[in-house]
Structure 1
């Protein structure tokens, strides 16, 4: 196994951080789901709140207009024990997820989408922009006393004008990413611990799925692990935050197997690349409230 080095603690004291985005000034934007905020981590590790989002801000990406776009799952009930923080059931009986836009200069928050064809979004989770300026996002669903929602994958315009559902009835889609050539969409399912690849046939449009599957099967871990959000390397590898046995699972996009990088948290949820050479990997250790930085052996893909 390749040596990925010792992770450096960039920040601590976060309340279930996810969605890191490395900024040009050396800071990192992320969301704190349990605090309901968009937060900036300065290079010295100090924290400042950019915007109060409420609910459960989950995934984060910068749009072509320089604003931050947030997947808000609506909120969780929280479980704390042994110094760890875990999300439980949905905080509300009815779905109340949304896609929010945040002006990074003023902190003003706008809700772009909270429904599709009259039905509320259940639990938007992760987001990635394409080269055309639109974005893909997963709706993971939520767990309630009545059971677990199915999830879906959507495509939407950044100005709030249109949204389409491109995959329905998925089993908790979580992470989402694009191949280096922009022709393939990847998604990870949490509870099935599977990564899927889907062909993009036009901007915002996926090819029809094969029978019994949402796309082409890429891989699954060899042990009991759950998959969270992802980032793609410049060379095409798919790096997925991994829980239960916490770490990063690196999948060959062609289905040629995986490699596991263990990290000191049972809830490693997100990875994002930054730095001048795109080899600074920022990783959220969510149950302990930490942000790590690792010098990655390969550069990450420059996101749209």
Structure 2
């Protein structure tokens, strides 16, 4: 029997969202998402009933989101090739585009670490060079990908270290209960682990792989991910119609079947045991009842 088969189907928290990504759940039951469709390109707040209100239109291609201890919103803006910080009203506070000789290409996802620093994936190629709308260009797998993982000082808005590069489409990122950093590669299906707190030059270690072997010729691969208090990693897999669950050893132990085929990211609610999943194929946020809560995220405060 397929893992996850026969479980209760997810419910719909919100529908009619333009290619949602970057979910961030808030204490009052509301959440932030990005909308990546050409007609939206914005940061949106969904109230506790899923009603939509636009916070800011960026006009590029907003992808990943996270928040800090002041409630400010940090955006991995792939289309503008920038890291942007806004306040809760949508006013821009700060922006960076990388170093002059090493500018960001496609900022994808981001999270804060226990040291107060910001960690961001960059998929490794400017959007206009590999994507048309939501679809990849022909022969995209053979392009010269330079996917990266950045360590950033958010107060100084300065890159401290490039932890890794030459990854084939770096995507989701999260800190685990072991205080190690996890990031994935969409084209290979691999989840990588980095000891960023213990090593001056962290080395890439393969933690696991989320792909299911089948005959589907379409692209599929890991996207956003989150850890639960059970120590397991919950990883959305685009075009695989599931959230794949890995245990502490990196073994696949479950696949949570979704309604929509193209999940992009997930986040645990802060009240109750639920996982919210953004899905672009149908433009919705799905909600799954869980046996655990989410591992608390780091919310540093800094000037």
Q: Please report the TM-score for the alignment, with normalisation by the length of structure 2.
A: 0.84
Partner Cα separation in structure 2 for residue 73 and residue 245 of structure 1:
23
Match of 1:296 among 273, 278, 290: 290
Report the CA distance between 1:45 and its aligned residue: 2.0
Partner Cα separation in structure 1 for residue 189 and residue 151 of structure 2:
23
Question: Which residue is equivalent to 1:73?
Answer: 78
Q: Deviations over 1:13-71 (max 9, x none)?
A: 11110011111111111110122111011122211011111201000001122200010
Report the CA distance between 1:188 and its aligned residue: 1.2
Residue 218 of structure 1 pairs with residue 204 of structure 2: no
Residues 108 and 123, structure 2, Cα contact 8 Å, conserved in 1: yes
- What secondary structure, in the 3-state scheme, does the structure 2 residue paired with 1:201 have? coil
Q: What does 1:232-243 align with in structure 2 at a 5 Å threshold?
A: 232-243=227-238
RMSD value, Cα: 2.0
Q: Deviations over 1:190-215 (max 9, x none)?
A: 1111111111234xx66442xxxx32
Residues 20 and 29, structure 1, Cα contact 8 Å, conserved in 2: yes
- What secondary structure, in the 3-state scheme, does the structure 1 residue paired with 2:115 have? coil
Match of 2:175 among 166, 173, 178: 178
Partner Cα separation in structure 1 for residue 110 and residue 154 of structure 2:
12
Residues 210 and 244, structure 2, Cα contact 8 Å, conserved in 1: no
Match of 1:100 among 77, 84, 90: 84
Residue 129 of structure 1 pairs with residue 134 of structure 2: no
> In structure 2, do the counterparts of structure 1 residues 44 and 220 end up closer, same or farther at CA, with 3 Å as the change threshold?
closer
Q: Greater strand share, 1 or 2?
A: 1
Unaligned stretches of 5+ in structure 1? 75-95
- What secondary structure, in the 3-state scheme, does the structure 2 residue paired with 1:107 have? coil
- What secondary structure, in the 3-state scheme, does the structure 2 residue paired with 1:227 have? strand
Unaligned stretches of 5+ in structure 2? 131-139, 215-219, 299-303
> In structure 2, do the counterparts of structure 1 residues 114 and 103 end up closer, same or farther at CA, with 3 Å as the change threshold?
same
Report the CA distance between 1:4 and its aligned residue: 4.5
Residues 63 and 133, structure 1, Cα contact 8 Å, conserved in 2: no
Q: Please report the TM-score for the alignment, with normalisation by the length of structure 1.
A: 0.84
> In structure 2, do the counterparts of structure 1 residues 247 and 256 end up closer, same or farther at CA, with 3 Å as the change threshold?
closer
Question: Which residue is equivalent to 1:199?
Answer: 195
